[in-house]
Each structure stands twice: as structure tokens, then as C-alpha cells.
């Protein structure tokens, strides 16, 4: 990748399951509970509500999980259920001060810049983007918008899904 980035992780399939209660209590509070399988890594992530602003900023607590299946069962026993599954191919690149990821999803390709706001703005400009190009929506929101444009009933954002 240009701009002095070094490959951190080659293109790898990532599978995500978003959990919530039957009443969607976490969604109502703009929180997220996600189980991710990325290559050989398994992680459980909690994300707090996003803060207002041009950059996507939210509390994130993450821990590695030894067995995704066991964690899934524990979450279900606690009353959570999978409300959305999504897949993407992700390649990660790093540079002093931040990271860039390229996500290939069933609804389009995206570049995500992670770092301090000043670094993000500087890097975005170097690769030809301005703040007007920034997208701070979640993949679930992007998927719902895509389904609406395509006239499709939403399901899960998976490569194998016939709706994709």
C-alpha cells in the first residue's frame, strides 16, 4: 500500500456475529456485542455508543477467546442471540501512528483508517480523500442501506447469502 504502510495481515476472511437481547436492548442504547473470527483469532468485543463528530469514536473493550463455539453458547445462555452476521475479507496495513485496513464486503469495498484524528485526516488527504468522504456508519447500517437501494429484504451480510 502507498504512503509508507507495511502489511500487518494479508487478505483474510473475517466472520462476525452481533449479539443482542430479544428486545434489541443493546441496539436501542447504540451498543454492540460482537464475536469475531479472523483467521486463527477469536475475539469478543463490546462497543459503547459512538460519539458525535467527523471520526468514528466509541469505547471498545476486546478480549481474545479460545473457542468461538463455547463463547457463543455462553452468550446464548445469558440471554443473547445472534441478530446479525456479516463477513468481509480484510487486509491490514500499519504505519507509525495508525493503521489502514481494506475491507471487501458483499456490499462494497471500504478503507478504514484507525488512529488519532489528526493522523486520520493527514493520511486520508494523502490517499485522495477529504472529510466529506468519511463514512462513520456501521456495517449493519451500510448493509441495510444497500438492501433498501437494491429492493431486497435484509438478512445477513454474508458472501454465501443469495441476497448478496
Tens digits of residue pLDDT in 62-96: 999 999 999 999 999 999 999 999 999 999 999 98
Q: How confident is the model at residue 108 (pLDDT cuts 50, 70, 90)?
A: very high
Query: Hey, what's the cell of 11?
Result: 487478505
Residue 5 scores a pLDDT above 70: yes
Instruction: State the Cα–Cα distance between residues 69 and 57, nearest whole angstrom.
Output: 30
User: Which residues lie below 8 Å from residue 113, measured CB to CB, with a gap of 6+?
Assistant: 98, 99, 100, 119, 120, 123, 124
Output the average pLDDT for the chain. 93
- In the three-class reduction of DSSP (H, G, I as helix; E, B as strand; rest coil), residue 21 is classed as coil
- In the three-class reduction of DSSP (H, G, I as helix; E, B as strand; rest coil), residue 153 is classed as coil
CATH fold label, 6-150: Hypothetical Protein Pfu-838710-001 (2.40.320)
Taking phi over 0 as left and psi of -120 to 50 as alpha, with beta for the rest, 22 belongs to: alpha
Q: How confident is the model at residue 53 (pLDDT cuts 50, 70, 90)?
A: confident
* pLDDT per position as a tens digit, 12-40: 999 999 999 999 999 999 999 999 999 99
Residue 148 backbone dihedrals phi, psi, to 5 degrees = -60, -45
Q: What pLDDT score does 97 carry?
A: 83
Exposure of 105 by Cβ count < 10 A (0-12 exposed, 13-18 middle, 19+ buried)?
buried
Q: How confident is the model at residue 164 (pLDDT cuts 50, 70, 90)?
A: very low
Amino acid at each position: 500500500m502507498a504512503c509508507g504502510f507495511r502489511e500487518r495481515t494479508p487478505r483474510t476472511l473475517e466472520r462476525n456475529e452481533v449479539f443482542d437481547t430479544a428486545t434489541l436492548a443493546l441496539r436501542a442504547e447504540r451498543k454492540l456485542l460482537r464475536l469475531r473470527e479472523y483467521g486463527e483469532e477469536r475475539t469478543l468485543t463490546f462497543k459503547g455508543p459512538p460519539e458525535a463528530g467527523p471520526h468514528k469514536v466509541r469505547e471498545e473493550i476486546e478480549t481474545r477467546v479460545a473457542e468461538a463455539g463455547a463463547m457463543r453458547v455462553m452468550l446464548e445462555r445469558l440471554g443473547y442471540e445472534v441478530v446479525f452476521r456479516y463477513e468481509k475479507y480484510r487486509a491490514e496495513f500499519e504505519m507509525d501512528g495508525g493503521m489502514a485496513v481494506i475491507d471487501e464486503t458483499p456490499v462494497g469495498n471500504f478503507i478504514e483508517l484507525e488512529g488519532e484524528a489528526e493522523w486520520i485526516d493527514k493520511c486520508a488527504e494523502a490517499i485522495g480523500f477529504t472529510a466529506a468522504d468519511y463514512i462513520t456508519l456501521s456495517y449493519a447500517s451500510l448493509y441495510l442501506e444497500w438492501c433498501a437501494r437494491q429492493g431486497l429484504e435484509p438478512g445477513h451480510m454474508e458472501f454465501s447469502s443469495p441476497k448478496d
